[in-house]
Amino acid sequence: MANTTSAKKATRKIARRTIVNKSRRTQMRGAVRTVEAAIKSGDREAALKAMKLAEPELMKAAQRNLVHKNLASRKVSRLVHQIAKLAQ
């Protein structure tokens, strides 16, 4: 348990940031799931639309250190590749 005043404040601060970060992470994951669902259904147009929303979400999450920047880039790359395969 925190003893000093600054440690108590830090604990409160961390709790507030955790709530914000969880919300942002959930939003990002939801956007990715939407793209994956569109890909699975084979709907290229819906997948492209969803990807247009998901890519900025992923990159913002990487900028805010919610996920590693390489993870965000890798996810975007793989999703775009899967969408490209739908065109064939």
Task: Please give the pLDDT value at position 74.
Answer: 98
Q: Find the CATH number of the domain harbouring 43.
A: 1.20.58.110
* pLDDT tens for each residue of 35-74: 999 999 999 999 999 999 999 999 999 999 999 999 999 9
Task: Please give the pLDDT value at position 49.
Answer: 97
Task: Please give the pLDDT value at position 87.
Answer: 85
Mean pLDDT to the nearest integer, 16-24: 97
How far is the C-alpha of 40 from the C-alpha of 77, rounded, in Å? Answer: 17
Percentages (nearest 5) of helix, strand, coil residues in the chain: 85, 0, 15
How many domains, the chain? 1
Q: Tell me the residue range of the domain where 61 lies.
A: 5-87
